[in-house]
Every structure is written in structure tokens, then in C-alpha cells.
Amino acid sequence: MSPTAQRFPSRRRFLLGLGLLTQIAAAPKAPVVTVLGDSITAGLGLPAKDAMPAQLQAALGRLGASAVVRAAGVSGDTSGGGLARVGFSVAPDTKVCVVALGGNDLLQGVEPNQTKANLRGILQKLKARGVKVVLVGVGAPPSIGATYAREFNAVYPALAKEFGAPLYANMLAGVRGDRALMQRDGIHPNAAGAKRIGEALAPIVARALKT
């Protein structure tokens, strides 16, 4: 084979490779959804593939809403902790942030007005950055005290209205109290419970991604 004939296949391979790289570079990247939360978001007691963020990503995929879901959960975190770290925990490429904080406020008896102020600070910071928000609430049981529960439960719909954010009122709705969906501690969902939460959140997050 002549040197000229040998050069042409190499050139064709080079051009084909260049074209493939160009297509990859031009392909749109999947939008990023960051879940800012506590131990449920962190997947306490579960492998990452079974935790709520991974379950949310899978559920979004089943809805045809391609997205990369990042877990930004810290076990034990309160709304105050979330406010302190929102600037670095929610990366600049985030399109939608699921704010799922307040469970530890409830466990620690934080005053509802303080929880509200902390969550408002988080939402303000995200709004200033142009990040869309899905707000996830926590249901306070009446057994904790009727007045406290009423004031705490009012925090999330009030903030959702103030910021025009979609709301999922109670993260553990349909999960808490069901032994088949909870870990032994009775606080954290197991893999099946995390899947239930992800599936419930997915339609709300999918709509936020489209806006």
C-alpha cells in the first residue's frame, strides 16, 4: 500500500473523531437539581443508590425529565445550618434546588418564627442567584403541642406563597408510620420509603425544570 493510501484512512479517522467530539460538546447537558436537606437527603442508613436523591433522579427519568440530582444533605442539620452553607452546598450550575429542611428544627423545638426566618434567608439567597426552588415541608404532629404544631405547619405554605415556590407540604406523607417504609428508628425512610418520596416529588420538580 502506498504512503498516500495509508494517510487517507488516518485522516478519515481523525475527522470522524473530531466530528464526534464536536457533537458531544454541542449536546445539551442535563440540568442539575440539588437537594438541600438533612439526614433524609443524606441517606442516613442507606447506600447512596437507594437514598432519596437517587430515587428522585430515577423517578424524573421515568417521567422523561432528564436531570442530575445532587445530594446536599447533612445529618442533623437544621434550617439554620442550611442557611449557613447554602452558598457553597448549592453549586452555581444548579437549576432547581429542593429545599428540604426543618425536621431537626422540629425535633429540637426551634421556634417556628426562627425556622421561618432561616428558610426565608435560604430562599432569598437562591432567588438572588436565579435558582428555582421547590420547598418541602415537614408535618408537625399535634402530640408535640397543638399551638406549636399549628404555627410550625403554617411556615411552609406561607413561604411558598411569599416566594411563588411550588410546595410539597410534608416530606414523609404516606411514609411515616408505615413500618414497611421506615427504618427501625421510626424516623428515617428505608429504600422503599425513599423511593416513595422521590416518586411524589418528581412531578413537582419536573414542572419546575420546565419553567
* Domain chopping of the chain, boundaries: 30-210
185 is catalytic: yes
Catalytic residue among 2, 10, 143, 185: 185
Please give the pLDDT value at position 10: 58
Instruction: Tell me the pLDDT band of 19, cut-offs 50, 70 and 90.
Output: very low
Sign of the alpha-carbon dihedral angle for 129, 66, 208, 136: negative
Q: Which three cell numbers stand for residue 186?
A: 421510626
Q: What rounded mean pLDDT belongs to the chain?
A: 90
In this predicted model, which residue has the larger pLDDT, 18 or 69? 69
pLDDT tens digits, one per residue of 29-62: 899 999 999 999 999 999 999 999 999 999 999 9
Secondary structure (3-state) at 48:
helix
Q: Is the pTM higher than 0.95?
A: no
Q: How confident is the model over 78-89, as a mean pLDDT?
A: 98
What's the CATH fold of domain 30-210?
Rossmann fold (3.40.50)
Check pLDDT > 80 for residue 27.
no
Catalytic residue among 39, 77, 79, 105: 39
Sign of the alpha-carbon dihedral angle for 141, 144, 149, 155: negative
Angle at 90 between CA 48 and CA 27, to 5 degrees: 80
Check pLDDT > 80 for residue 25.
no
Please give the pLDDT value at position 28: 62
Please give the pLDDT value at position 128: 98
Please give the pLDDT value at position 22: 44
Check pLDDT > 50 for residue 94.
yes
Check pLDDT > 50 for residue 171.
yes
39 is catalytic: yes
Residue type, 135: L
Q: Which three cell numbers stand for residue 131?
A: 435558582
pLDDT tens digits, one per residue of 101-157: 999 999 999 999 999 999 999 999 999 999 999 999 999 988 899 999 999 999 999
2 is catalytic: no
